[in-house]
Chain A
Amino acid sequence: MENEIKLAAGAMVALGVATAALVVLPYVQARDITPPAKLKPYTDAQMRGRAVYIANGCVYCHSQQPRDRGLGPDLQRGWGRASVPGDYYYDKPHLLGSMRTGPDLFNIGARQPSKDWHLGHLYQPRAYVPDSIMPAYPYLFRIKDAEEARREGDQPITLPPGYGPRIDQVVVPTPEALDLVKYLQGLNHTYPVLPAPAAR
Chain B
Amino acid sequence: MDSAVISLLGAFLLSIIGLFVFIWSLRQGLLVENPTAASVIFARGEVGRVDDPALREEGQRSLQQAAHPEPLPATDAGDLQARVRADQSTAFPVFMFAAFACFWLLLGSTAGLTASIKLHTPDWLVQQPWLTFGRIRTVHLQAVLYGWITNAALGMILWVLPRLLRTHLHGAVWTLLGGALINTGIAAGIGAIAAGWSDGMEYLEIPWQAGLFIVAGFVLIILPVLFTLVNRKAEHLYVSAWYMVAGLLWITLLYLVAKLPGVHTGVQQATMNWWFGHNVLGLWFTPVSVGAIYYFLPKIIGRPVRSYNLSILGFWTLAFFYGQVGGHHLIGGPVPGWLVTLSIVQSLMMVIPVVAFSINMGLTLQGRMHLARWSPTLRFMMFGGLMYFASSLQGSMEALRSVNAVTHFTHYTVGHAHLGAYGFVSMVLFGAIYFMMPRVLNWEWPFPRLITLHFWLSAIGIGTYFTSLTIGGWLQGLAMLDPARAFMESVTLTIPYLQWRSIGGGLLLLAHLVFVGHFMAMALRFGPMRTGAALFGARQPLEPAYGK
Chain B 323-372 interface residues, beta-carbon cutoff 8 Å to A: 323-324, 326-327, 329-339, 342-343
Whether the Cβ atoms of A21 and B342 lie closer than 8 Å is yes
A73 at interface (Cβ–Cβ under 8 A)? Answer: yes
**Residues from chain B with Cβ under 8 Å of A67 in the complex:** 332-333
Contact of B3 among A25, A77, A98 (CB under 8 A): A25
The answer on a CB contact under 8 Å between B312 and A133 is: no
Please measure, in the bound complex, the distance between the C-alpha atom of A25 and the C-alpha atom of B230, giving whole angstroms: 35
The reply to whether B336 and A199 form a contact with Cβ atoms under 8 Å apart is yes
User: Nearest-CB distance from B266 to chain A (Å)?
Assistant: 4
- Residue among B331, B339, B495 with the highest chain A CB neighbour number at 10 A: B339
Complex contact B202–A26 (CB within 8 A): no
Given contacts A14-B320, A15-B283, is CB(A27)–CB(B268) below 8 Å? yes
- Distance in Å: Cβ of B144 to nearest Cβ of chain A: 15
The reply to whether A82 and B334 contact each other, CB–CB distance below 8 Å, is yes
Q: A61 to chain B: which residues have CB within 8 Å?
A: 133-134
Chain B minimum-CB-distance residue to A7: B242
B268/A30 in contact, CB under 8 A: yes
Q: Which residue of B lies closest to A30 (CB)?
A: B268
Inter-chain CA distance A88–B128, complex, in Å, is 32
Residue contact A17 to B200, C-beta cutoff 8 Å: no
Shortest CB–CB separation between residue A85 and chain B, in angstroms?
4
The reply on A8 being an interface residue by CB < 8 A is yes
Residue A100 lies at the interface, judged by CB distance under 8 Å to chain B: yes
Q: Does B196 contact A (CB under 8 A)?
A: yes
Contacts of B138 in A (CB 8 A): 57, 60
Q: Which residues of B contact A114 (CB under 8 A)?
A: none
Name the A residues within 8 Å of B481 (CB-CB). Answer: 72-73
Whole-angstrom distance between the alpha carbons of A54 and B4 in the complex? 35
15 further A-B pairs in the complex, CB-CB below 8 A; given A7-B246, A22-B326, A77-B487: A1-B30, A1-B237, A2-B235, A2-B237, A26-B268, A27-B268, A57-B132, A58-B134, A71-B332, A73-B482, A98-B408, A133-B120, A133-B491, A199-B336, A200-B338
A179 in contact (CB, < 8 A): no
> Which applies to chain A's interface (DSSP): helix, strand, loop or mixed?
loop
Given contacts A83-B334, A139-B127, A200-B337, contact A101 B119 (CB under 8 A): yes
B342 CB contacts on chain A under 8 angstroms: 21
A19 to B4, CA, bound (A): 18
B235: chain A residues at CB < 8 Å are 2
29 contacts between A and B (CB under 8 A): A8-B249, A15-B250, A18-B275, A19-B275, A22-B324, A29-B268, A30-B268, A33-B266, A56-B196, A57-B134, A57-B138, A59-B202, A61-B133, A71-B332, A83-B333, A88-B267, A90-B266, A91-B265, A92-B266, A94-B270, A98-B202, A99-B413, A101-B119, A101-B411, A102-B491, A131-B492, A133-B122, A135-B134, A139-B129
CB < 8 Å: which of A1, A93, A137 contacts B269?
A93
Q: B334 touching A65 by the CB < 8 A rule?
A: yes
List, in ascending order, chain A residues with CB within 8 A of B487's CB.
77, 103
Interface check B319, CB cutoff 8 A:
yes
**Which residues 25-52 of B have a CB within 8 angstroms of A?**
30
Q: Give residues 1-59 of A contacting B (CB, 8 Å).
A: 1-4, 7-8, 10-12, 14-15, 17-19, 21-23, 25-27, 29-30, 33, 54-59
User: Contacting B410 at CB < 8 Å: which of A14, A84, A100?
Assistant: A100
Contacts of B229 in A (CB 8 A): 4
Q: Enumerate chain A residues within 8 angstroms of B335, measured Cβ to Cβ.
A: 26, 85
Complex Cα distance, B14 from A56, in Å, reads: 44
Alpha-carbon gap, A95 to B201, bound state (A): 7
Q: How far is the CA of A59 from the CA of B488 in the complex (A)?
A: 18
Contact of A54 among B200, B331, B336 (CB under 8 A): B200
Q: Which residues on A sit within 8 Å (CB–CB) of B447?
A: none
Inter-chain contact count A-B, CB under 8 Å?
Answer: 240
Could you say which residues of chain A place their CB within 8 Å of the CB of B253? 15
Interface flags for B184-207 (1: CB within 8 Å of A; 0: not) read: 000000000000111111100000
Is A138 touching B329 in the complex (CB atoms < 8 A)?
A: no
B137 contacts A88, CB within 8 Å? Answer: no
Chain B residue with the shortest CB-CB distance to A82: B334
Contact assessment for A11 and B339 in the assembled complex, using a CB-CB cutoff below 8 Å: no
Assess whether B67 is interfacial by the CB under 8 Å rule.
no
Residues of A within 8 A of B196 (CB): 55-56
| In the complex, chain B residues 113-135 whose Cβ is within 8 Å of any chain A Cβ | 118-120, 122-123, 126-129, 132-135
- Which interface class (under 10, 10 to 19, 20 to 34, 35 or more) fits A? 35 or more
Say yes or no for A185: interface residue by CB 8 A criterion: no
Main secondary structure of the interface of B (DSSP, over half): helix
A93 to B201, CA, bound (A): 7
- Are B199 and A132 in touch, CB under 8 angstroms? no
- Decide yes or no whether B316 CB sits under 8 A from chain A: yes
Least CB separation from A96: chain B residue: B270
Nearest residue (CB) in A for B253 is A15
> Is the pair A94, B122 in contact by a Cβ cutoff of 8 Å?
no
Q: Are A138 and B272 in contact (CB under 8 A)?
A: no
* Cβ-neighbour of A19 out of B257, B410, B411, B495 (below 8 A): B257
**In the bound complex, do residue B271 and residue A139 qualify as a contact, i.e. CB atoms below 8 Å apart?**
no
The contact string, 1 if C-beta is below 8 Å from chain A, for chain B 253-297, is 110010000011111111111110001000100000000000000
Check A11–B246 contact: CB distance below 8 A: yes
What 6 A-B pairs come out closest when comparing CB atoms?
A: A57-B134, A18-B323, A55-B196, A199-B337, A73-B483, A22-B275
Q: How far is the CA of A24 from the CA of B138 in the complex (A)?
A: 28
The reply to whether the CB of A167 lies closer than 8 angstroms to some CB of chain B is no
Q: How far does the alpha carbon of A77 sit from the alpha carbon of B479 in the complex, in Å? A: 12
B263 proximity list for chain A (CB < 8 A): 27
CB nearest to B262 among chain A residues: A92
Q: Which of the residues A3, A21, A100, A133 comes within 8 Å of B119, measured between beta carbons?
A: A133
Kindly supply a per-residue 1/0 record for chain A positions 89-122, scoring 1 wherever the CB is within 8 Å of any chain B CB and 0 otherwise.
Answer: 1111111101111110000000000000000000
- Residues in B with CB closer than 8 Å to A76 are 483
Partner of A135, one of B122, B257, B270, B323: B122
Complex Cα–Cα for A8 and B250 (A): 10
The answer to whether A137 and B126 touch (CB under 8 A), given A26-B272, A88-B266, A131-B491, is: yes
Q: What residues of chain A lie closer than 8 Å to B483, measured between beta carbons? A: 73, 76-77
Residue B245 at the chain A interface, CB threshold 8 Å? yes
Q: Does A87 contact B337, Cβ atoms closer than 8 Å?
A: no
User: Which residues of the partner chain A approach B272 to less than 8 Å between Cβ atoms?
Assistant: 22-23, 26-27
A129: B residues at CB distance < 8 A: 488
Contacting pair B409 A98 (CB below 8 A): yes
Q: Does B233 contact A (CB under 8 A)?
A: no
Known A2-B235, A18-B279, A57-B132: A93·B405 in contact at CB below 8 Å: no
Residue A197, interface by CB 8 Å = yes
A92→B269 contact, CB < 8 A: yes
A138 to B230, CA, bound (A): 58
**Knowing A72-B481, A133-B491 touch, does A60 contact B123 (C-beta < 8 A)?**
no
> Shortest CB–CB separation between residue B397 and chain A, in angstroms?
17
